[in-house]
């Protein structure tokens, strides 16, 4: 940021500068690793709950009614984290904009890690009754608080250290944590269910996987958190925020400041993310429940392990197209690129009834498996293209002194509208209408995103030193 005399050197004492700005730039690979490994761990912790919510928790924490009701209750618990995420973005955003990106990211990682580990220790409803789902819901809430503070900090760590003209590509590294965490979570569940020879279509509460095997992914997260903390404690503060400290640009209450001065940007950012969130949780959480669901859920009756294999294959395309999206957003601009991708998401939503019609799809033929794989591959490709630039788009909407809070609030408000409700609404739509209506729901989210992109400014040339 230029000083009043026109120079780019920040005013302040030499001591202050020495304390806040590293004498030598932090190696780019260390920034990449710190932003990527943290989001990978956070999303891994988040996804193991999502996988368990459709395969294990209805049996262990919500038993007592029919399978459809148990699944809906489990999906509702899954959604509580999204209610908590805006709170997490406000709490961690305050400290991220006051104390710095680094220390706040450490706190967010610890919050998520502790909550995830404790879920792995919970007794079930068959052991302590309704206390079990109550404690599960509370810990899920704290998972949401942790993730609410994670994403925006990691996005700022990557974007505020990027070279001019390459910000979307540089900022895409924390976005890769989403598919990497998903592959780790579902890959581990796949290995465990294979090792335990667990069959979700003929579940027995005495099955070792339901007794203790499902706990392992939650308990093992503590090791991953340890690695993440080691990496994050070895990074420096971003130069952009360090200059804000030297120039005395921090505000006492970032939350009130961002709502007072950047309310429009929060609304636009929230709705820009809407189609992205809706698509992702349809392609991961809901589709898993729909595919393995049998009588009483309106699903297709796939075997749990066989469908996880299909899903993990498709998620590789999600990861592959995130860097592609970063390059495209730098070349063509954020708005133009995202308008095209969102239009494609709307077209994809209109095709749900054809892809997933239960009357047309059996569960045994190779053709049906190929059809499901193609459906997921199309969805995950679009997901990579729409998710990739978001870690540049949202931070670019806000000034340095409220950027952690503003980008986090927009991202996580969108999580409530586009993610928390989506799996629950999709299950309800299938049970009461048809799978085509799930696609229409995605179309509605896409239209809202299109409108927001039209109203939003192009931010690719925006300086983050403001």
From the CA atom positions of the chain, what is the Rg in Å?
22
pLDDT value of residue 12: 36
Residue-level pLDDT at 446? 98
Q: How confident is the model at residue 262 (pLDDT cuts 50, 70, 90)?
A: very high
User: Quick one: average pLDDT of 1-20?
Assistant: 38
Look at 14 and 170; give whichever has higher pLDDT. 170
Query: What is the CA angle 68-73-75, rounded to 5?
Result: 95
Q: What is the pTM of this model?
A: 0.85
Contacts for 343 with CB less than 8 Å, ≥ 6 apart: 446, 450
Structure-token pair, residue 258: 């961002």
pLDDT in tens, 372-409: 999 999 999 999 999 999 999 999 999 999 999 999 99
| Selected residue with higher pLDDT from 129 and 445 | 445
Question: Is residue 232 within 8 Å of 105, Cβ to Cβ?
Answer: yes
pLDDT tens-place string over residues 48-87: 888 888 888 888 898 877 777 888 888 888 888 888 999 9
The Cα–Cα gap between 413 and 271 comes to 9
Position 25 scores a pLDDT of 56
Q: In whole angstroms, give the CA distance from residue 372 to residue 364.
A: 12
Query: For 40-54, 135-149, 310-324, 339-353, which range has the lowest pLDDT when averaged over its residues?
Result: 40-54
Whether pLDDT at 43 is above 60: yes
Quote the pLDDT of residue 83: 87
- Determine contact, residues 305/193, Cβ cutoff 8 Å: yes
Q: What is the pLDDT of residues 281-293, one digit of tens each?
A: 999 888 988 887 6
Which backbone phi and psi does 63 adopt, to 5 degrees?
-75, 160
Q: What pLDDT, in 10s, does the model give residues 413-447?
A: 998 898 878 988 998 998 899 999 999 999 999 99
Reported as a pLDDT band with limits 50, 70 and 90, residue 358 is confident
pLDDT-above-90 percentage for the chain: 50
pLDDT at 8 over 90: no
Q: What is the average pLDDT score of the chain?
A: 87
Percentage of the chain surpassing pLDDT 70? 89
Between the CA atoms of 72, 74, 76 and 78, what dihedral angle is there, to the nearest 10 degrees?
-140
The pLDDT confidence band at residue 362, using thresholds 50, 70 and 90, is: low
> pLDDT tens across 143-196, in order?
999 989 989 999 999 999 888 889 999 999 999 999 999 899 988 988 888 888
Answer with the residue of higher pLDDT: 94 or 38: 94
* Distance, CA of 23 to CA of 273 (rounded, Å): 37
Q: How far is CA 230 from CA 44, 92, 172, 332, in A?
A: 18, 20, 22, 37
Q: Report yes or no: 217 and 189 within 8 Å, Cβ to Cβ.
A: yes
Two tokens, residue 321 = 């197209």
Domains of the chain, earliest start first: 23-455 (1.20.1250.20)
pLDDT reported for residue 2: 38
HEC sequence for the chain: CCCCCCCCCCCCCHHHHHHHCCCCCCCHHHHHHHHHHHHHHHHHHHHHHHHHHHHCHHHHCCECECHHHHHHHHHHHHHHHHHHHHHHHHHHHHHHHHCCHHHHHHHHHHHHHHHHHHHCCCCCHHHHCCHHHHHHHHHHHHHHHHHHHHHHHHHHHHHCCCCCCCHHHHCCCHHHHHHHHHHHHHHHHHHHHHHCCCCHHHCCCCCHHHHCHHHHHHHHHHHHHHHHHHHHCCCCCCHHHHHHHHCCCCCCCHHHHHHHHCHHHHHHHHHHCHHHHHHHHHHHHHHHHHHHCCCCCCCCCCCHHHHHHHHHHHHHHHHHHHHHHHHHHHHHCHHHHHHHHHHHHHHHHHCHHHHHCCCCCCCCCHHHHHHHHHHHHHHHHHHHHHHCCHHHHCHHHCCHHHHHHHHHHHHHHHHHHHHHHHHHHHHHHHHHCCHHHHHHHHHHHHHHHHHHHHHCCCCCCCCCCC
Q: What does the pLDDT look like over 222-233, one tens digit per residue?
A: 998 898 888 888
**Half-sphere exposure in the Cβ direction for 218 (13 Å, CA):** 22
């Amino acid at each position: 940021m230029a000083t009043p005399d026109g120079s780019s050197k920040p005013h302040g004492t030499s001591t202050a500068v020495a304390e806040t700005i590293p004498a030598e730039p932090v190696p780019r690979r260390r920034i990449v690793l710190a932003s990527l490994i943290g989001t990978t761990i956070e999303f891994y912790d988040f996804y193991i709950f999502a996988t368990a919510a459709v395969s294990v928790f209805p049996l262990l924490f919500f038993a007592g009614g029919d399978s459809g009701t148990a699944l809906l209750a489990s999906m509702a618990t899954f959604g509580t984290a999204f209610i908590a995420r805006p709170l997490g973005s406000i709490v961690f955003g305050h400290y991220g904009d006051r104390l710095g990106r680094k220390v706040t990211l450490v706190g967010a990682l610890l919050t998520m890690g502790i909550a995830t580990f404790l879920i792995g220790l919970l007794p079930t409803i068959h052991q302590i009754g309704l206390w079990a789902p109550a404690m599960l819901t509370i810990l899920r809430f704290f998972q949401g608080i942790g993730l609410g503070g994670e994403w925006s900090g990691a996005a700022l760590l990557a974007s505020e250290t990027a070279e001019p003209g390459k910000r979307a590509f540089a900022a895409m590294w924390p976005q890769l944590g989403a598919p990497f965490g998903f592959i780790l979570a579902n890959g581990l569940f796949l290995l465990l269910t294979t090792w335990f020879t667990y069959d979700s279509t003929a579940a027995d509460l005495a099955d070792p996987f339901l007794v203790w095997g499902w706990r392992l992914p939650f308990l093992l997260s503590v090791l991953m958190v340890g690695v993440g903390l080691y990496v994050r404690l070895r990074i420096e503060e971003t130069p952009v925020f360090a200059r804000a400290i030297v120039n005395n640009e921090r505000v006492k209450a970032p939350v009130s400041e961002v709502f007072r001065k950047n309310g429009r940007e929060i609304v636009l950012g929230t709705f820009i993310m809407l189609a992205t969130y809706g698509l992702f949780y349809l392609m991961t959480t809901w589709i898993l429940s729909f595919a393995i669901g049998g009588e009483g859920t309106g699903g297709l009756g796939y075997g749990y392990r066989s469908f996880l294999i299909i899903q993990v294959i498709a998620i590789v395309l999600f990861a592959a197209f995130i860097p592609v999206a970063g390059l495209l957003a730098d070349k063509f601009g954020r708005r133009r690129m995202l308008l095209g991708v969102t239009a494609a998401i709307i077209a994809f939503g209109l095709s749900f009834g054809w892809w997933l019609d239960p009357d047309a799809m059996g569960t045994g033929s190779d053709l049906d498996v190929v059809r499901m794989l193609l459906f997921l591959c199309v969805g995950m490709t679009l997901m990579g293209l729409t998710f990739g630039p978001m870690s540049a788009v949202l931070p670019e909407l806000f000034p340095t002194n409220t950027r952690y809070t503003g980008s986090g609030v927009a991202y996580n408000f969108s999580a409530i509208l586009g993610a928390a409700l989506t799996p629950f609404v999709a299950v309800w739509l299938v049970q009461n209408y048809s799978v085509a209506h799930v696609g229409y729901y995605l179309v509605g989210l896409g239209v809202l995103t299109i409108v927001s992109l039209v109203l939003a400014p192009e931010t690719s040339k925006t300086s983050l030193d403001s």
